[in-house]
Amino acid sequence: MAFFGFSAGNMDNYLNLSTHLNGDVDCHIFDSIPSTNDYLSSLEFSPRTQVCIASEQTQGKGQYNRTWLSNKDKGVLLSIRRVFSTKVNLSGLSLVVGLALLEVLRDYGIMGLELKWPNDIYYQDKKLAGILIKNITRNQTQSVVIGIGVNIDVNIDCQTPWTDLHSISTQESINQFDLTKDLINKVLEFCQIFEVHGFTTFSKQWASVDYLQGKQVRYNDNKQTFLGKCCGVNDEGVLLVATKVSTKQVYSSEFLTLL
């Protein structure tokens, strides 16, 4: 079932989206909305998977409350809310979602992509897509909202070097509806595998596209400061940084600087 809000505009194409998705999925479609993540987070709890898609976000956010910049109708802006058991360790989930996006984009002929731990897709040192995950625990379940933004043809003023599919694709055009439904289906597929087997199933796949592998970084969270070289992730998707004296485990990129 699809729910519409604001002006439907060119989002009319998504009216039958749910019929193209695997499983029982509620679809919420907007022409413009403050934030797809916030919208799904505000809904009453439901055991069903829910998807929110918009052609524009007016208050889109990335990691650490940073603004996610985008142009209307020029990118894929969507969120997925999926329920996991509290027994599932969600560490590494953002990495798995990144791998799902990368696999779909490869199917559209986009090669040479890398994943920057823990939540960005890069092409030649420029950001192509980002992921934001929010988790709320309720009784014996974890309600996880997965926000995804993919640049298709954008023109933004941003400190982070960025690129888009229009600039790097060898195809004349990419059907945005097809790309959107393929991304959703692949993310849901990978979430199912992750729920059963954890991150270890994806560890080799991650290692082959690890953007930070071998790169020098500085970590400073006001409690500890160290310099080191990134050397992959552990079985839970935690970043490993080799210093002169030991290998450190890094759980957040907020205090990590690439040198």
Is the confidence at residue 2, as pLDDT, over 60?
A: no
pLDDT for 65: 57
How large is the average pLDDT for residues 221-250? Answer: 96
The better pLDDT of the pair 77, 64 is held by: 77
- Strands 49-54 and 25-30, bridge-based pairing: parallel
User: Which segment of 24-38, 70-84, 172-186, 194-208 scores lowest on mean pLDDT?
Assistant: 70-84
How large is the average pLDDT for residues 132-141? Answer: 90
How large is the average pLDDT for residues 103-108? Answer: 96
- Tell me the C-alpha distance between 214 and 81, whole Å: 34
* Residue appearing with tokens 């060898």: 170
Extended beta strands in the chain, E state: 2-5, 25-30, 49-54, 75-85, 113-116, 120-123, 126-138, 141-151, 216-220, 225-233, 239-242, 247-250, 256-258
In three state form, how does the secondary structure of 210-243 look?
Answer: ECCCCCEEEEECCCCEEEEEEEEECCCCCEEEEC
pLDDT digits (tens, 9 = 90+) for 161-199: 889 998 998 887 888 899 999 999 999 999 999 999 999
Is the confidence at residue 131, as pLDDT, over 70?
A: yes
Percent pLDDT > 90 in the chain is 73
How large is the average pLDDT for residues 115-130? Answer: 95
Q: Please state the pTM of the whole predicted model.
A: 0.92
